[in-house]
Structure 1
Amino acid sequence: MKKIFAFLFLIVLSTSVFAADETANHLENITQFTSLIRWGGVFFSFVVIFASWVLLRFTNKLVETFSSQFVQYRMVLQKLQSFFQFLVYMTAGIVVFMMSFRINDQILTLIGGTLAVSIGFALKDLAASFIAGLTVMIDRPFQVGDRVTFEGNYGDIITIGLRSVRMRTLTDDIITIPNNKFLSEVTMSGNYGALDMQCVIPFYIGMDQDINLARDLIQEAASSSRYIHLPKPVVVLVSQEIADNYLAIKLTCKAYVVDTVYEKLFETDITLRVMKEFRRHNINPPMIAVRSTMQ
């Protein structure tokens, strides 16, 4: 029994000594850290932060006022404002750090390690986009000027860079897409380096209408359009389709526009011509669709 008590006493004693050592180490670390802080500079750091906040607020108000009065310079002012904000943030951060800490080897080591980790995480996606950019340039799934569909976005490729690809949509929006997205997503190119591109335009008529006449009218309207690329054929496909519980004849016009820039004008021109000829020849759409629209 005495041996057991002696053994337990030794365990408690060693645990106490270990805990005391840990506490001493923590206290030593805290002491070393607090010795690096300039407590007088901490107060002035808050003053610098407050002054930076006031300066940025004043700059925002100034830019808003000038932007409303000189609209033509609004974009330039906003760019200058963004650059100025970044400059203020960087300057205030450096000043606060220099005023609050005593610079020595420990601080430099800490800064170097933090920057290395931060830059590594920041450059991870950049490196992936860079490698993907080289892959896109070598494999060439699309080219500058191609009209492509990517993740629901449809438009023209205007630039292919090492980090990203820029697309201009048909609504004149500029979309920036990281290159690494193209490694895992499907991209559809409508023309792939050519000026001309196939356009698919559907038309619907009733089951009891003159199908052959309707097909001829569509083919004639497409062939006589000012935007047609005649070296390639005009094809009109006929099929039955069930839509909203009614049968209809679907006539799909496949024709090539002379330039992708005129795609929507080409579709509009053909649609207007076909609808005009359908009315002149009494070719009607599906009756149920007309009744539901009238109701």
Structure 2
Amino acid sequence: MDSSVAAAEIVRTLIAADVFQLALIVIGTWLLIILSSRSLAWLAKRLAGRFRFYTLSAIPILRLLIILAGLILFITSVIEPTVENLTVLLGLLGFGLGFAFKDYVSSMLAGIVTLYEAPYRPGDWIEINGAYGEVRTINMRNAEIVTPDDTVVFIPHLKIWDQLIFNANDGSQDLQCAADFYLHPNHDAAQVKQVLHDVALTSSFVQIEKPINVIVQEKPWGTHYRLKAYPVEPLQQFDFITDLTIRGKAALRNRGVEFTTAVSLAQRDS
């Protein structure tokens, strides 16, 4: 059969198809996607640690399976699923989508790659193109992240082709945090290092089984201390950094350690 004749036959079949049945397939697929996404999201909120991340990661995969199942059911309800009919239909769809929605299709393909390679998952804290936040949802075309300022950012999956992706916890509950301290160089460095280590060790947010590190770097203006440790949950990262900063400053001041400020830097440069 000529391809143009086959295409015309498919179009006539679409027109003559049971619109009510097709509508039920579309609505049923949509309801299944919403129900499964909300159910798994509700369950994830009541889980902790790795089980939460695994549950959230299952949402986009289940959504893709439901869409594929609905698409197969839709096609087989409209036309006879022969090789010839399917070849013509896929050719028409490919031509139309490739011509009209090149970037959209590219983002969808990148979304499928994202599900396979998993550079980020729901629950991960990522930074892409200057936007940092927790991945809330992975859709077919984009990922939704929530920033620390409670702003939702929509990032097309197309970005994975040409952008660096920084993943802070990579599907686990281990997310390293860092608190910075800038001190006058005239002090006992070994004592300061121990004080900051004890500050992290006694925090109510710290994950005890993970290492605590104090990195010391001498700068032209003074000494830079970077206190690194892990909170119990990634969501606690900002409370954890705040706790380390406040208690660390108080502990250092109690020992008479002088901090470097912008005023002292200006005086040094003058």
TM-score bracket relative to the smaller structure: 0.5 to 0.7
Alignment of 1:153-172 (within 5 A): 153-172=131-150
Give, as a single letter, the amino acid of the residue that structure 2 aligns with 1:194: S
Q: Aligned equivalents of 2:247 and 2:102: distance in 1?
A: 54
- Residues 230, 135 of structure 1: CA spacing in aligned structure 2 closer, same or farther, 3 A cutoff? same
Which of 195, 203, 224 is residue 217 of structure 1 equivalent to? 195
Supply the distance in 1 between the matched residues of 2:256 and 2:189 (Cα, whole angstroms): 12
Verify: 1:179 aligned to 2:157, yes or no.
yes
Select 1:266's aligned residue among 192, 216, 240. Answer: 240
Listed as ranges, the matches of 1:83-98 within 5 Å are: none
Is residue 178–residue 226 contact of structure 2 (8 Å, CA) maintained in 1? yes
Decide which of 243, 247, 256 is 1:282's aligned counterpart.
256
> Match for residue 84 of structure 1?
none
**Counterparts in 2 of 1:262 and 1:153: CA distance versus 1, 3 Å:** same
Taking the aligned partners of 2:165 and 2:204, their CA distance within structure 1 comes to 30
Q: Match for residue 251 of structure 1?
A: 225
Q: 2:118 aligns with which of 103, 128, 140?
A: 140
| Contact kept? 2:174, 2:230, Cα under 8 Å | yes
Compared with structure 1, are the counterparts of its residues 288 and 158 closer, same or farther at alpha carbon in structure 2 (3 Å cutoff)? closer
The answer to whether 1:236 aligns with 2:239 is no
Higher share in helix = 1
Distance in 1 of aligned mates of 2:127 and 2:99: 31
| Aligned residue runs from structure 1 range 123-138, under 5 A | 123-138=101-116
| Aligned twin of 2:10 | none
Whole-Å separation in 1 of the counterparts to 2:95 and 2:140? 23
Unaligned residue ranges in structure 1 (runs of 5+): 1-115
Structure number with greater CO (CA < 8 Å, separation at least 6) is: 2
CA-CA distance at 1:119 after TM superposition: 6.3
* Compared CA separation, residues 120 and 288, structure 1 to 2 (3 A): closer
Q: Calculate the TM-score normalised by the size of structure 1.
A: 0.56
Separation in 2, partners of 1:285, 1:152: 30
- The answer for the alignment partner of 1:189 in structure 2 is 167
| TM-score (normalizing by structure 2) | 0.60
Write the mapping of 1:70-89 to structure 2, written as runs, cut at 5 A.
none
Cα RMSD for the two superposed structures: 2.3
CA distance in 2, matches of 1:168, 1:122: 31
Q: Which runs of 5 or more residues in structure 2 are unaligned?
A: 1-93
Alpha-carbon displacement from aligned partner over 1:197-218 (angstroms, at most 9, x marks no partner): 1012221111111211111111
DSSP 3-state at the match of 1:192: coil
SS in structure 1 of the partner of residue 230 of structure 2: strand
Counterparts of 2:246 and 2:142 in 1: how far apart (Å)?
A: 39
CA distances 1:150-198 after superposition (whole Å, capped 9, x unpaired): 1000000011121111111111111111111112111000001111310
Post-superposition offset of 1:286 = 3.0
How big is the shift at 1:120?
Answer: 5.1
Aligned CA distance change for structure 1 residues 120 and 192 (closer, same or farther; 3 Å):
closer
- After superposition, give the CA deviation of every residue in 1:99-121 in whole Å (9 maximum; x if it has no partner): xxxxxxxxxxxxxxxxx998654
Instruction: Report the count of equivalent residues.
Output: 175
* 1-structure distance, mates of 2:264, 2:237: 28
Q: Displacement of 1:291 after TM fit?
A: 7.3
Q: String of CA shifts for 1:114-145, please: whole Å, max 9, x gaps.
A: xx998654321121111111111101111110
Aligned to 2:82: none
